[in-house]
Amino acid sequence: MEEKNFITVALPKGKLFKPSAELLNQIGWTAEGLHEKSRKLIITNESARLKFIITKTADVPTYVEYGAADIGIIGKDVIVESGKDVYELLDLGFGKCHLMMAVPKDKKRPRLEDYAHTRVATKFPRLAENFFAAQGMQMEYIKLNGSIELGPIVGLSESIVDIVETGTTLRENNLEEIVTIMDSTARLIANRVSYKLKFARINSLVDDLAKILSR
């Protein structure tokens, strides 16, 4: 079959993979070997004309923006942080979390403004800067890729901006959330050109998923 007849779906590794794959499976959008433990990066279902790309979370919007994937599933926080030009089709509701600022409990300051001109450790420098700029606060941003909580513990930063689901990791590291920056859930996104050229199939997917989510 011609490549143009396929729909390529970008799915993120990690926590969103399983619920994403399970949701798509409910409407028949799946492929043999599409599971968390698969080492394959591309999994194809020839008969259904589907191709799945399994990639790092932060890369999903990039694959979709440039058309390497027609659609993808990724958290709202990642979409905004990436700044990529993608079309957001549907809020899938799972993967609920929120982006927040946290500081060591024993170094908490009276007001948010009291942290102006301090260092923030984060995976989300764009979101963090947008938030603090809106508060009229200038900050120094230190980009980290993992274990953000270490920042203030080892003196790298005064605070962190990170995603939180339950708050367990914060508590275990004696950090306290002081402000919520944004809420996030998983979203279905599309390449803008693909959405026009493959509208029938993609729109049918959106309708089918919306029906499942409304149950």
Q: Which domains does the chain have, with CATH numbers?
A: 3-95+185-213 (3.40.190.10), 97-182 (3.40.190.10)
- What does the pLDDT read at residue 110? 96
Q: Nearest Cα to 102, choosing from 166, 167, 176? A: 176
**Residue 194 CB contacts under 8 Å (≥ 6 apart), including other chains:** 67, 70, 71, 202
| Predicted pLDDT at 15 | 93
Alpha-carbon span 69 to 63, nearest angstrom: 5
pLDDT band of 9, cuts 50, 70, 90: very high
Mean pLDDT of the chain: 95
pLDDT at residue 1, as a whole number: 39
What's phi and psi for 212, nearest 5 deg? -65, -45
CA 162 vs CA 29, 58, 149, 175: distances in Å: 32, 14, 9, 12
Mind listing the pLDDT tens digit for each residue in 128-176?
999 999 999 999 999 999 899 999 999 999 999 999 998 899 999 999 9
Using DSSP's 3-state secondary structure scheme, residue 158 falls into: coil
Find the farthest-apart pair of alpha carbons in the chain and give their distance in angstroms, rounded.
64
Long-range contacts of 168-177 (CB under 8 A, 24+ apart): 170/102, 173/149, 174/104, 174/105, 174/106, 175/102, 175/103, 175/104, 175/105, 175/149, 176/102, 176/103, 176/104, 176/105, 176/108, 177/100, 177/101, 177/102
Q: Residue 4: its pLDDT value, please?
A: 66
Each residue's pLDDT tens digit, 84-142: 999 999 999 999 999 999 999 999 999 999 999 999 999 999 999 999 999 999 999 99
Dihedral of CA atoms 54, 55, 61, 65 in degrees, nearest 10, equals -70
Instruction: Return the exposure string of 56-74: e unless at least 16 CB atoms fall within 10 Å of the residue's CB, then b.
Output: ebebbbbbbbeeebbbbbb
